[in-house]
Structure 1
Amino acid sequence: MNAHVRTFPDSFTFGVATSAYQVEGGIENDWAEWERAGKLKEPHVRCGRGVDHWNRYEEDYGLALDVGASAFRMSLEWARIEPERGRIDGAVLEAYRERLLKMKARGLRPVVTLHHFTHPLWFHRDTPWHLPQSVEAFRAYVRACAPILRGLDALVISLNEPMVLLLGGYLQGLMPPGIADGAKMMAALGNMVRAHVAAREELQAALGHVEIGISQNTLAFAPDRSWNPLDRALVRLGAQAYNHSFHEVLVSGKLRVNMPGIGSTKQDIPGAKDSCDFIGVNYYTRAHLRFLPRPPFLSFQFRDKHGRGLTDIGWEVWPEGFGQVLRELKRYGLPVWVTENGIDDRGGERRPAYLREHLEQVLTARAEGVDVRGYLYWSLLDNFEWLEGWGPRFGLYHVDFETLERRPTPACQFYREVATTRRLPSLVPPSSATRPNLIIQPSAAR
């Protein structure tokens, strides 16, 4: 064997990721309401039928197997399960149970997300996250879901990217519930931690042992002006608040967040200490922070400082940042799962190189003692990308949004080779035109 070929152990899991609203179709929830209000970047865009995964799930399981996946991340849609407060739709629970059993039977380990951004229509009206009633509402939902996970050996994610939801929905007002209030954001943050604790309690009561964690969007941060001490200070504060505050409270039980000009909170949360069995990390890019002398006090920018070309959504390709955030997670002493990593590559030619560069970082982190157990590529399919609508294409499989035909991209062959041989082959990245520096607003694109 070539001494330069690096390998993954047989125990390492390769998989793919999806989320219910983005792929299933036919869901009536707070995001559907947001779309009707014309609040996406293109006001006429609707998710609608998604990519019809609700009806084509068995076909899509086959596509996952075809690229060598042995795990499949999906989410349960709260709005399907509890369309009215207190009314659980048993038929929907049975349908999700059937999907999970078929997934398991085909050799795909279920990775089940309980909350992936979306809410029933009643939630923000009756039990919004900034009120304590939200915790019991989430507890009741998880209690109803627990039986469908029995016997599956599922990896469970309580909350997907809580900091994205809080910043987008409670500070910038860019996503539901559309609030811009720092104090309410801090209250919601504490309640989402409590909701994770409640979910863990309910699943353990119903199922006994269960592996449960969160998936946290992580960014590599850099000062926009390396010489500026205020930019450098923002990087330290941003990394701590955005990347680490949620992890730290689930290890220590102490929630400590300080966001100058926005708000701060110090809370000791009962049950939060050691309430996480693994850390889920979603990584895409690096952000350059610049201090501003007046509100909002910082700018958030993606720059192509190394001439690699921005992705088609406008994000920097920075695999080194992936290695950085993985190494930073070592401090928690917990297993790490990469629950999302991917590229918006609308031509389909850049994805193999992106995959190779980021998988190289996983191997390096493992060699340095980070217990990375698995890698789930975002996403199996092109799908609806939140505020960005139908423009971005993150899928291993290209989807014709008119016919819904799934077609493999060049990355499918590469991912299959890595997943089945456990070897990371050499790859010459395709040439691509360097795009100019851009300054754009952050978006919830997963």
Structure 2
Amino acid sequence: MLKSFAAPALVLRMIGSALLLIGFVAVPQNFAAAEGLPAAGDDFHWGVAMSEFQSGGYFPDSNWTRYAQRSADPYRNSVDFYHRYPEDIQRAADLGVNTFRLSIEWARLEPATGQWDEQAFEYYDDVLREIADAGMRPMLTLDHWVYPGWVADQGGWANPDIVGEWLDNARKVVDRYAHLDPLWVTFNEGTAYVMQEVKHGGLSPADVPVMFDRMAQAHRSIYDYIHAVQPGAMVTTNASYIPTAEPVMDAQLIDKVADRLDYVGIDYYYGVSPTNPTAVYALLDEHWKATLEPEGVYYALRYYARKFPGKPLYIVENGMPTDNGAPRADGQTRAAALRDDVYWIQRAKADGMNVIGYNYWSLTDNYEWGTYAPRFGLYTVDVLTDPELTRRPTDGVDAYRDIIRTGGVPDGYTPSRPPAGCSLVDAPSSCLDPVTVD
């Protein structure tokens, strides 16, 4: 997820390369503005998203339990979804969401080489039963940046054996849960995953191409396996959309598996424009300082609608951070940010883009890959000072519930923030062919 992406030098080099590339590319203009703002429709996926490591707690040895020991904040047991999942799943159901995204963690299932923990499988059985009983469809992530400690000891993604070991786990997960007809995400934000591994010492810079190639191999193999077990399955690997740099980022993984994507999963958080360079704060883990440009979600959708004509598009993650729950300096609230983002998603759908779903990140605050300071949750939780881990609703709870009940924001809604004068989210198209508020 871009909100926790942290490899500024490499990212800036990629952005520079992307600008050089796209500055000479003519972008076809394929989408005409529609009149009105229709509701999303009964078949639209309204969801919430979470990562089980980031929220679960009580986690066995893994690459990230090790990285956390050197991070700004101790992991502790995060918000203890591990024991509190029934109440958290009910919170999601009370919002009215029909889709619940979580990860099934390899480190829980196979804590030692070849030793499968049946109690861990039973834990996920119970979690998914609660989700299904609450009337929600699971979206299952097979790899959300976490792998067992014994895999780390073998060299992680630099070890050629990891593809076979990863597939052994993934096939067991598919065999056990395909009957629930989940949506699937193979790798969460592949480019961000690689950069986090480099940042924390799990991968050398020289092995970056190797990790991308091995993830592509693993994705292609498990894609075919999922479809053999679950005909008609919907499978993706979601992109951490990075303004101006996405063509370069896509070349690392998405383009290598383009014929094995049933839908395009997109994580969108921050825009960038000549008058708003603040997205760089997201690279420095000061996410709340990055000024939001909600219309950027429209440009991100338009980018992929042109890249993959007709293919379903799904905003797998989107949300707004605060600094430990404090009001943002720019005055933006979670409720307003939610409504603005949904407005632009409805605009994209009205303009002919095949948008099938939206997940808010995240249901509760969680461990943002080394720190609890950035708070994205609809329900806020003060992990470091509240031993009860109380879930307190933000203004986003009522806003999202209303959005879901009515199928979006109403026709005639005006976003709280006007579009940037020259967005660079999908440069040059987003600057030369800007969207306007009707």
In the TM superposition, what is the alpha-carbon distance from 1:206 to its structure 2 partner?
3.5
TM-score by length of 2: 0.78
Any conservation in 1 of the 2:286–2:374 contact (CA below 8 Å)? Answer: no
- More displaced, 121-130 or 158-167? 121-130
Match status 1:355 vs 2:387: no
In the TM superposition, what is the alpha-carbon distance from 1:127 to its structure 2 partner?
5.3
In the TM superposition, what is the alpha-carbon distance from 1:245 to its structure 2 partner?
4.2
- In the other structure, the counterpart of 2:427 is none
Deviations 1:83-119 (A, max 9, x none): 1122111221122122112211210110110100111
Any conservation in 1 of the 2:191–2:252 contact (CA below 8 Å)? Answer: no
In the TM superposition, what is the alpha-carbon distance from 1:244 to its structure 2 partner?
5.3
Pick from 138, 143, 148 the counterpart of residue 171 of structure 2.
143
Match status 1:15 vs 2:47: yes
Partner Cα distance (2:226, 2:289) in 1? 39
In the TM superposition, what is the alpha-carbon distance from 1:428 to its structure 2 partner?
7.4
Pick from 41, 45, 63 the counterpart of residue 30 of structure 1.
63
Partner Cα distance (1:4, 1:332) in 2? 25
In the TM superposition, what is the alpha-carbon distance from 1:21 to its structure 2 partner?
0.7
- More displaced, 102-111 or 124-133? 124-133
Partner Cα distance (1:311, 1:418) in 2? 29
- In the other structure, the counterpart of 1:58 is 86
Pick from 300, 305, 308 the counterpart of residue 325 of structure 1.
300
- Helix, strand or coil at the partner of 2:238: strand
In the TM superposition, what is the alpha-carbon distance from 1:366 to its structure 2 partner?
1.3
Any conservation in 1 of the 2:47–2:99 contact (CA below 8 Å)? Answer: yes
Structure 1: any 5+ residue segments left out of the alignment?
Answer: 222-237, 252-273, 290-299, 305-309, 431-446
- In the other structure, the counterpart of 2:256 is 249
Partner Cα distance (2:362, 2:74) in 1? 20
Match status 1:278 vs 2:263: yes
- Helix, strand or coil at the partner of 1:377: strand
Match status 1:337 vs 2:314: yes
Seen in structure 2, the aligned counterparts of structure 1 residues 176 and 316 have a Cα distance that, compared at 3 Å, is farther
Which has more helix, going by share of residues? 2
- Helix, strand or coil at the partner of 1:7: coil
TM-score by length of 1: 0.76
Partner Cα distance (2:53, 2:414) in 1? 34
Residue identity (%): 28
Partner Cα distance (1:400, 1:302) in 2? 25
- In the other structure, the counterpart of 1:229 is none
Partner Cα distance (2:254, 2:126) in 1? 33
CA RMSD of aligned residues (A): 2.4
- In the other structure, the counterpart of 1:368 is 351
Pick from 95, 103, 111 the counterpart of residue 123 of structure 2.
95
- Helix, strand or coil at the partner of 2:113: coil
In the TM superposition, what is the alpha-carbon distance from 1:347 to its structure 2 partner?
3.3
Match status 1:191 vs 2:170: no
Larger RCO, structure (CA 8 Å, separation 6 or more): 2
- In the other structure, the counterpart of 1:395 is 377
- Helix, strand or coil at the partner of 1:48: coil
Partner Cα distance (2:251, 2:295) in 1? 18
Match status 1:414 vs 2:396: no
Partner Cα distance (2:406, 2:291) in 1? 30
Structure 1 stretches of 4+ with a deviation exceeding 4 A read 3-6, 427-430
In the TM superposition, what is the alpha-carbon distance from 1:71 to its structure 2 partner?
0.7
Partner Cα distance (1:168, 1:287) in 2? 22
Q: How many correspondences in the alignment?
A: 364
Any conservation in 2 of the 1:353–1:427 contact (CA below 8 Å)? Answer: no
Equivalence map 1:155-194=2 (5 Å): 155-170=183-198, 174-175=199-200, 177=202, 179-181=203-205, 183-194=206-217
| Amino acid paired to 1:280 | G
Match status 1:106 vs 2:134: yes
- In the other structure, the counterpart of 2:22 is none
- More displaced, 159-168 or 346-355? 346-355
- Helix, strand or coil at the partner of 1:110: strand
In the TM superposition, what is the alpha-carbon distance from 1:204 to its structure 2 partner?
3.1
Partner Cα distance (2:155, 2:114) in 1? 12
Structure 2: any 5+ residue segments left out of the alignment?
Answer: 1-34, 418-438
Partner Cα distance (2:86, 2:64) in 1? 26
Partner Cα distance (1:200, 1:79) in 2? 21
Partner Cα distance (1:72, 1:245) in 2? 28
Which has more strand, going by share of residues? 1
In the TM superposition, what is the alpha-carbon distance from 1:209 to its structure 2 partner?
3.8
In the TM superposition, what is the alpha-carbon distance from 1:13 to its structure 2 partner?
1.4
Any conservation in 2 of the 1:30–1:119 contact (CA below 8 Å)? Answer: yes
